[in-house]
């Protein structure tokens, strides 16, 4: 039974004048061009590790040396991103100039350190020479003017050492002002940021373009832009290779997620050969629309004894995939240039995960576009949307104009369904396929295994059998979700959340949901079918008499 209490925010309604995004070039790939499976091997490099883990600067250097040697052994190009303190260390300078495999790239890792700050003429506020807290160790903790000074100082030193400016800059997160300044003044062509996570190391990045890459809004580096004129023309690639089935609800019910990623130090993820094999099959074999992407590699802070076994297995596997023609290994800058040549705006992409590395039988499909992201989950016969977040380039980051003063940071988008934040350990939120039982209760409807296919350029179709009869067909396009259910059935999708969770919804009308999140108004329109908020335990998305239900994701 779906019996979770729905509470709607008491905030005031949306302002008048909601507009449809128009005038955008298509972000889809040419239909005749096959979707490549791109692998970046990115290792980011620090020269100090002050956290109480017993890692010396020699241990850090040895890890980077071994990473470089591993890639040379296979003749694979890698991207090495240098934190400022590592960049000014003569050992790393020699290694970068003399010890990398052919075709490798040197770029910037954008965590802020004491020598970097002092080179920019700013007073250091950290406890250690590298302080990982958000208000000190990241550019969002500095004023916009200070951020530009930090960029200028880094770029000047990089060019002094290597003779050119870096093309790629990565970090767990980079604010929009800094990223735009790097692009406009120094011509960077690619960036990368952390996977979606809640609370890890005090950093929350939640609801973003889930995998592959996107063009960020000039107001918010975590928010995909909808229009070319409002975007920073630097694709941001998502790092660390999250498990598309299990990472999302790892640690459900707690304020901090677990880590189930391709990072080789985690034995439940990238350190497990079985997990790696399943993850790479997901990357190479499933429908993905424009392209598929994964980042291999590790920060040197974990030291080689922990990094080595898993990374060796992964690099060998990547080499085998490349030789078999199933994957293309590029540097981050090469991927950025490739992306910019093909996509004037963020394309629609997908991740299709029909094999569970935990052998629990769960399945998951992610869809991303410049307007929204959505995630479907099959779990023990229960099927539906685990997550839907909307994107709006006008949603300004807290850090765009002023520095963050907290040791934590928060980058978010606009929730419509949130299967993590709206859940507890025992009550899982979602928008599930359901029907009314004999007592009028709305209950989940069991389904079978799905079929997933690219039915047109930029269009993903998911078809799953309903065990009571017929099929549920969901078509994702960049600006809408179209659902077809058996005509004449009582099926609908029901949104339920854990008790006492307050939703951002201001109003649920027959055709429209109005919402407010962090003082920003947004919504979604139901152009076929209707919305029904009369049930005490759920909000129902009801198809029309033909069994059709369409949500327009581009109207705010």
Task: Note the pLDDT of residue 34.
Answer: 76
> Quick one: tokens of 227?
């229009």
Task: Note the pLDDT of residue 25.
Answer: 39
Q: What is the dihedral of CA 532, 5, 517, 214, to 10 degrees?
A: -80
Residue 394 exposure: Cα atoms within 13 Å on the Cβ side: 9
Residues of the chain with pLDDT under 50: 1-5, 10-30
Q: What is the dihedral of CA 327, 242, 44, 209, to 10 degrees?
A: 90
> Quick one: tokens of 268?
């439940």
Instruction: Determine the Cα–Cα distance for residues 349 and 343; give it in Å rounded to an integer.
Output: 12
pTM (2 d.p.): 0.93
**CB proximity list for 54: less than 8 A, separation 6 or greater:** none
pLDDT tens-digit readout, 160-176:
999 999 999 999 999 99
Beta-sheet pairing, 213-214 with 236-238 = antiparallel
Task: Note the pLDDT of residue 389.
Answer: 98
List residues bridging with 512 in a β-sheet: 525
Task: Note the pLDDT of residue 9.
Answer: 52
List residues bridging with 411 in a β-sheet: 205
> 371, 349 in Cβ contact below 8 A?
no
For 387-399, the DSSP string reads EEEE--TT---TT
Instruction: Give residue limits of the domains in the chain.
Output: 7-21+413-552, 37-344
- Helix or strand run (H / E) with residue 293: strand 292-296
Taking alpha carbons only, the member of 25, 17, 135, 28 closest to residue 394 is: 17
∠ at Cα 399 (200, 202), nearest 5°?
15
> 147, 139 in Cβ contact below 8 A?
yes
- E strand residue ranges, 354-423: 363-368, 372-379, 382-390, 409-412, 414-418
Task: Note the pLDDT of residue 53.
Answer: 78
Q: What is the dihedral of CA 115, 121, 125, 127, to 10 degrees?
A: 20
> 255, 200 in Cβ contact below 8 A?
no
pLDDT tens-digit readout, 118-128:
999 999 999 99
**CATH 3.10.20.600 is right for the domain spanning 37-344:** no
């Amino acid at each position: 039974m779906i019996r979770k209490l729905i509470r709607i925010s008491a905030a005031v309604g949306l302002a008048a004048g909601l507009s449809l995004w128009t005038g955008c070039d298509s972000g889809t790939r040419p239909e005749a061009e096959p979707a490549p499976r791109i692998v970046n091997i990115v290792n980011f490099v620090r020269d100090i590790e002050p956290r109480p883990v017993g890692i010396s600067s020699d241990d850090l250097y040895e890890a980077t040396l071994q990473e470089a040697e591993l890639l040379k052994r296979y003749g694979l190009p890698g991207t090495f991103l240098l934190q400022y303190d590592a960049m000014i260390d003569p050992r790393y300078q020699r290694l970068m100039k003399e010890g990398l495999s052919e075709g490798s790239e040197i770029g910037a890792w954008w965590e802020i350190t004491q020598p970097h700050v002092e080179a920019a003429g700013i007073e250091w506020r950290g406890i250690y020479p590298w302080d990982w807290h958000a208000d000190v160790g990241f550019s969002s903790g500095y004023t916009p003017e200070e951020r530009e000074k930090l960029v200028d100082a880094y770029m000047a030193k990089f060019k002094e050492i290597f003779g050119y400016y870096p093309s790629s800059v990565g970090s767990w997160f980079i604010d929009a002002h800094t990223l735009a300044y790097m692009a406009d003044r120094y011509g960077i062509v690619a960036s990368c940021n952390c996977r979606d996570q809640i609370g890890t190391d005090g950093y929350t990045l939640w609801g973003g373009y889930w995998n592959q890459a996107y063009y960020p809004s000039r107001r918010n580096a975590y928010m995909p832009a909808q229009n070319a004129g409002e975007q920073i023309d630097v694709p941001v690639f998502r790092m660390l290779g999250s498990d598309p089935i299990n990472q999302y609800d790892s640690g459900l019910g707690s304020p901090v997620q677990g880590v189930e990623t391709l990072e080789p130090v985690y034995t439940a993820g990238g350190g497990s050969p079985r997990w790696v094999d399943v993850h790479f099959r997901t990357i190479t074999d499933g429908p993905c629309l424009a392209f598929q992407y994964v980042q291999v590699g590790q920060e040197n802070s974990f030291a080689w004894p922990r990094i080595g076994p898993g990374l060796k297995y992964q690099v060998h596997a990547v080499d085998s995939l490349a030789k078999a023609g199933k994957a293309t290994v590029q540097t981050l800058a090469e991927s950025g240039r490739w992306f910019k040549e093909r996509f004037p705006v963020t394309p629609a992409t997908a991740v299709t995960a029909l094999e569970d590395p935990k052998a629990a039988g769960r399945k998951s499909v992610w869809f991303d576009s410049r307007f929204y992201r959505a995630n479907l989950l099959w779990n023990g016969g229960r099927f539906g949307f685990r997550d839907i977040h909307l994107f709006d380039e006008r949603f300004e980051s807290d850090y765009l104009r002023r520095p963050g003063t907290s040791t934590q940071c928060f980058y978010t988008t606009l929730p419509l369904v949130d299967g993590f934040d709206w859940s507890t350990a025992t009550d899982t939120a979602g928008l599930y396929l359901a029907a009314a039982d004999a007592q009028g209760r709305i209950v989940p409807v069991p389904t079978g295994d799905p079929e997933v296919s690219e039915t047109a350029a930029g269009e993903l179709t998911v078809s799953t059998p309903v065990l009571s009869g017929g099929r549920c067909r969901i078509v994702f396009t960049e600006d809408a979700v179209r659902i077809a259910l058996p005509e004449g059935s009582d099926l609908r999708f029901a949104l339920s959340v854990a008790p006492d969770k307050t939703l951002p919804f201001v109003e649920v009308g027959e055709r429209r949901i109005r919402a407010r999140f962090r003082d920003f108004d947004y919504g979604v329109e139901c152009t076929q079918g209707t919305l029904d908020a009369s049930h005490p335990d759920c909000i129902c998305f009801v198809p029309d008499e033909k069994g059709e239900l369409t949500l327009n994701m581009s109207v705010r």
